[in-house]
Structure formats: C-alpha cells, structure tokens
Structure 1
Amino acid sequence: MNQGTPKPVPALLTGELLRSLKLRAKWPSVREYLGSKDLRPRTGWSAIDDALNGKKQAPELLAALQQYYAGINLAGDRYIQQYDLDDSAIVDLLKALASAQVARNAFHTHYPFILPAASLHAVGNQMELCEITQQGADYILVFCSRREYIERQLFEGSAAAAIGASTPSLAGFDRILGLKAKYFQAFDIVAIRPKLKRVEFQIDLPPGQAREGQKETQTRLLLQTATLCLPPLTFIGPLTRPVNMFPAIGEIYSDARNGGKLKSLKLRTATGLIDHLRTLVDGEDLRINKYHTNATEAVGNKVEPFEVLTELEFKNPGGKVTVAISSSVSMLASNDKFVGGFEVMGAATQTDILRATSKAMSFC
C-alpha cells in the first residue's frame, strides 16, 4: 500500500494550517478543543494569529492546532452510506489495498491543507485519491474534489433600486435575487472496516455550505471513483442497496437509555397530525419534554416518528456527535420503508465517526 501523503513545506505550515482551519472549522469548536488542552485564546482567530507569532505558548498551540485539524479534516459533518461485506469481498479488498497506488495530483501541492481559492477554481471537477491510511484495523481512503454550491442573496427596497439604477435591464423590480457560484474543497472518504465487515462511503459536508441535492449524487461519484482504485468494489452494483437505516428511527426514539439525547423529532400521530419538535436547551431530551409527553399521552402514545436527530456522548476518549436519520411522512405508508444513509455531525475524529456509525447500526 502506497500511502502517497506528501508533506507541506515546513515554512508554509502555520499559514496553511490557519487558512485551512478557518475554512473548515467553527471557532467555538476550536476554542473548546484548545480549552481541553489548557490553551485558552478567548478572542477568536486574531488571538491564534498573535499567539503563533512568537509568544511562549506558540509551539504547544501549533501542535494542538495540527492535531485538531488532522482530526476534523477526516471527520466533521458527513453523510454516510454503509454496505455489508462478505468474507470473499474482504479478502479481495485487502489484496487490492496492498498494491494500491496514490498518483500525484493537483491537490497534493497543498494536501492535507486546502488549495488556495485561485488554484481550487482552476482544478477540474475530477475526484482524486489523495491518501490511503490505516487506522487500527481499518483502511481510510481520502478523495479530494472541487465542489460547487450556490450562494443566494435577496435584494429588496433601496438595495434593489440601486441595482436597477446601475443595470437598466433590472430596473423596476421590487426584489432581486442574486445567485453566485462558489467552490469548496471536499475531503470524501471510503472506509474499509474488515473486522466489522462493512464499507462506508462518507460524503464531506463542510459547515455552512449547501447540502441538499448533493449527498446521493456525490455518493455515486465517490463509489465510481473508488471502484477505479479498488476494483473489488464492483460488487456494489446499480441495484445494490446500502444498509437500511429506517428501522433505527423508531428504535432510537423508543430507547431513552441508549439512544442518546433526542434533540429534534418529526412524527405523525394517530390523529394524522404532523409534528416537528426541536429543543435548543443543552442537555434536554425531547423524550421527557413535558409538551411532548403530554401530547403523546393524549393520542394514546400512538405516534410514528419519521425523522430523529440525537446527540451521542462518548467516554474514553470523550467526544460528542449528533446523528440525524431523515425520512418523509409518505414513507410511513410505504410497503418499502427504506432510508439509505444518515448524517453524523460534529465529529472531531474518525474514531468518533466509527463510534457513531456503530451506535446507529446497533438500532437497525
């Protein structure tokens, strides 16, 4: 196995690290992580910039930020589909991994960091294998690509009038919707887990970017690209279904002991009412929320959940992630109740991803 992981030029490390962190990480999460390491810059990214310019804690801070980035770059928010592996598929995949090669590509000039905007704009839409790494018994293949999303901005009133004044063809409109194509670098992952007899396709969902309409398409593209690198993955054909996550929705809702803290819920009651509940209170579980318990008792506890978002907390090492499994109310009436994937959000490392997916699978 050729891991093919080029290292960035040391002199560029600090600048590249900070630039990439600001693009991929949320400041509150960075602050919380640094606090756990007894490093506490409290005034945002500017404090990080100052600390890395010669203050006493700079070496420790830089090491902590490198560790944090290495984790979230392969974790963060991800849409995941899983396929079961039989023994013969595992043997074939391990043989293919032993001889797999990582060809140098445009992303390697800055990998594991993010390409500068101009360079990212110049690369094509091709998904490229950038790294193969082994974590315990698992093999992690990292694929980079340029992904596009649309940024929308609505102009009304005087703002719309100003645009109309400078662009005659838009004059007279009360509201003008502006659409701008933007790009981000995605780090999608194929995780081969021989001991668990499964393969996972993890689609990168960077915070703050548009997500809808991309997950299924990107999963198919990732499978096609990964199959070129690992031909044994051809066992996943066009009609091969991933693990069905629909049963986990009801099981998570029913299991207050093991199902984490339920933070968001969509359900249908026996009377036909569709309800969507969310809690923003830290530590609260919707299963024991008075409004919810009173409402369900009023309909004889006859409710059918079709979407859950639950917060899982792990120990040794500590970690907290959110798992979201979404369906639709029409699925409840279907003879083929099927959900092919789910989201894991807020994961700090691939270990957190593994623990979250294993927990979700335990409810299927």
Structure 2
Amino acid sequence: MNIGFLYMDLRILSSLEARMPWTLANRAMKRAGLDGSQGWDGARAKYSSTDHPEAETFLIGLLRQHALCGEKMTKFYAVGDAVKAELLEAINGLSPADHAFAERYPLVMSEAELTEQTSEPVLVSVERTDDGVGAVFAQTIKLTSREQIPIGEVFNDPDTVRERYDEVIGLKFEAVQMFNIIWVPHHDGLVEVRTDFPRGMRQELAHEIQSQFKAIANSLVEGSPLEQPIDLFPLISSIYETVGEGTVVELSFKTSTASIKNEKMRRTRLCLRDELYHKGGKDALGTRIEPFKVSIRWEFQHEGQAYQPELTLAGTSRGQQTAGGPEKGQLVSGAVIKNCIGMVDYEHVKAKMVAHMPSDEGEAAS
C-alpha cells in the first residue's frame, strides 16, 4: 500500500481505533514512537500536521499482523500432509480482488464508506510468513448494540418520561469491517479459520461466519477436507487445573451441590485459582468442580516488549445439547483469542492450547 501523504495519514490512527482496544493501540503507538497520552482526538490533532514516515511504515506492518491475529475466534481442523499441501498450493495461487477493500488493506474504511461496500467476502491479500500462509478476506457486517439514551437530553418533557421509565434503551446499528483468515501453517497439521470477533458480536453470528469460511476453504480443494473442528472443551479443565499456567481471570463451573457459579477477577494481575473465596468454596465442597468456561491471560516478554494475550473457551452448563455452535455434538468448537497485537502473542496462545490438547489432536500440531 502506498501512503504518499505530506502529513501523517490519519486513516492509520482510525484503523488502529477500529481494530484494537485502546490499551493495545496505545502500546502500538508507543512502539512506533508516537504519543497517545491524550487519547484519539489528541493524537489526531498532534499528528495531523507532521510527517512520520517511519511510524507509518511500522504501524502499517503491525496492522497487517493484527489483521491476521487480532481479536479472533479461531477453529482448528486437523488435516494430513496431502490436504495441507493442496490447500497451500491453492491459496498461493490466489490473487487479491480488484476492489476498494484490497486497495485500502490493511487499513479499514470509515463507517460511511462501509455502507457502500458488499457484505460478501472479498480476497484482499495472501499473507506469507515463516509460520504459514493465510488468505485474507474483508467483508462488512452490521452489528446491533444497546445503548442507554440520556432522557434529559433527548425528550422535550423528561420528567414525564422519568415517571414512566427508569431508563430508555436504544438500538444502535453499526457497520463493521472484518478481516477473516484461512490459515495454513508450515510447521503443524492444524488448519485454522480465524474470523474477527469484535465487541458486541453474538456467538451465533460468529459461528455462522466461521461456517461460511470453512465452506470457502473446502471449495479450494477436492473432497471438502475440513469437517469437524477440534473439540476444545477438554482444554478448559486442563488449563484451569495446571497451576502456574497463565492467570485465570474468569471461570464458570458446576458444583456437586447442583449450583452454577461465575467468578471474575477485578484485579488484573491476580489469579482466580488463588483467590481466597474461590479456594475456600472448593475446600468446603470436598469434591471437584466442573469448569465449562474459562478466560485466561498470559503475560510475557519478547525482545523487550510486553504482551498480555487472553484466551476464552466457553461452553455452557447444559453440555452437548446447546453448547459450542452449529457442529452437532461439539462442546467448544471455537477459541476466542483477544488482546493480541500480532503474531508473537497469538502464536504464544496457540502453543499453550496445543500443549493441553488430547494426544491425538496434539500429534497433528507437532
């Protein structure tokens, strides 16, 4: 992508804002030598009249990585060497579409621009790294969110409204650009379908989009080799029960007394495994709990940079009848991997998951 601006291309900042949580985007700007201490408006005002070509180049590269790895739901499919080779050949033979999405990649369009774009997937890039090859597709979806409407600012007679309603909720419709990936690794046998999982997306919609891209992957080769994704439910207990494996920040579980619990840690550096109330409750039970949802964060350093990726594996307390998505019998078919700035932290989470997979699935990843 050619920038060609006398001053900094503020579309880069807009893309960071659209793609990343603020804490992650601020960290990215600092790594690029920019100051984000005054928030998005302050950053735009500060850099709208200055030229930062090195920062632009760095952030463009980071946005490419984030398109591959950031804020994703991922499903893993174990395949043999022949299928993997066929998929690699097929993806390497693809060419990006002649489309506005491809011209703008890895930047995203504004919401106004997105209203004019298709909801159908458009191939925007084939990314090749030391870890694998990915077909990158862009598309537009519409998300609905609920927002509280300030009664005093909107209604002509707010007192009358308050007599009848405690609060007024409005539905906000927002066009969002997604980057969805079909990823074929070089070093293992786990083909990945990675789809964006932005804030406000429903699980049902995420699974529908996953199925769409599974079908696209199967259309590239003979025989529809991607069938059932790996069931990740066994990883929930395995990760939770491994002392020292990351920081557990949320846990949902059943107990032998037929109760269902959901616990979250408000202090980000403390682990639920060690929280006094949690430990006391387990000791009082005298029997094992049955986790069905876990969120876990890893903190590590790599080449002087700090990373804090987070993994969520979410089943339900009702088991196989309702959990996991469209694949019959699946408990947890998809992993939600968030707070990744690029490939380093995403691959860190993947490696942790592979280490806890049952032996037959783990062999495919080795």
Q: Same fold (TM over 0.5)?
A: yes
Structure 2 segments unaligned to the other structure (5+ residues): 323-328, 358-366
Does the residue aligned with 1:126 lie in a helix, a strand or coil?
coil
CA deviation string 1:172-196 (max 9, x = no partner) = 9747543343211001111101321
Residue 348 (str. 1) matches residue 341 (str. 2)? yes
Are 1:275 and 2:261 an aligned pair? Answer: yes
Please give the alpha-carbon distance, in whole angstroms, between the structure 2 residues aligned to 1:76 and 1:362. 21
Residues 21 and 339 in structure 2, CA contact (< 8 A), matched pair in contact too: no
Matching of residue 139 in structure 1 with residue 139 in structure 2: no
Is 1:235 aligned with 2:225?
Answer: yes
Q: CA deviation at 1:100?
A: 2.4
Map 1:36-75 → 2, pairs under 5 A? 36=31, 39-53=34-48, 58-75=52-69
The 1:70–1:265 alpha-carbon spacing in structure 2 relative to 1, beyond 3 Å, is same
Report the CA distance between 1:103 and its aligned residue: 2.6
Kindly indicate whether the alpha-carbon contact (under 8 Å) linking 1:93 and 1:233 is maintained by their aligned counterparts in 2: no
Match of 1:82, SS?
A: strand
Change (3 A) 1:313 1:241: same
**Consecutive unaligned residues in structure 1, runs of 5 or more:** 1-6, 165-169
1:27–1:338 Cα change, 3 Å: closer
Aligned-residue CA RMSD in angstroms?
Answer: 3.0
Counterpart AA for 1:128: V
Tell me how many residue pairs correspond in the alignment: 345
Which of 311, 321, 331 is 2:319 aligned to? 331
Match of 1:254 in 2: 241
Q: Is the 8 A contact 1:160 1:173 kept in 2?
A: no
Alignment partners' CA distance in 2, 1:77 and 1:23: 11
* Alpha-carbon distance in 2 for matches of 1:79, 1:187: 11
Report the Cα distance in structure 2 between the residues aligned to 1:345 and 1:136, rounded to whole angstroms: 22
Q: Deviations over 1:127-164 (max 9, x none)?
A: 11111011104001111000111132355866786499
Equivalent residue runs for 1:1-364 within 5 Å: 7-11=1-5, 14-36=9-31, 39-53=34-48, 58-155=52-149, 162=156, 174=165, 177-206=169-198, 208-228=199-219, 230-232=220-222, 234-236=224-226, 240-257=227-244, 259-317=245-303, 318=305, 319-331=307-319, 338-364=331-357
Asked whether the 8 Å contact 1:266–1:307 carries over to 2, the reply is yes
Aligned pair in 2 of structure 1 residues 244, 305: CA closer, same or farther (>3 Å)?
Answer: same
Instruction: Determine the C-alpha separation between the residues in 2 that align with 1:274 and 1:209.
Output: 25
Letter in 1 for 2:349: A
Contact residue 37 and residue 64 of structure 1 kept, 8 A:
yes
Identity of aligned residues (%): 20
The superposition leaves residues 303-327 of structure 1 with CA deviations (integer Å, 9 ceiling, x where unpaired) of: 1111110001233344220000011
* One-letter amino acid of the counterpart of residue 89, structure 1: V
TM-score of the two chains, using structure 1 as the length reference? 0.84
The residue type equivalent to 2:73 in the other structure is Y
Equivalent residues of 1:144, 1:185 under 8 A apart: yes
- 1:100-126: CA deviations, max 9, x gaps? 232322312322211233331112221
Does the C-alpha gap of structure 1 residues 42 and 248 become closer, same or farther in structure 2, counting only changes over 3 Å? same
- Tell whether the 8 Å contact from 2:125 to 2:136 is kept in structure 1 after alignment: yes
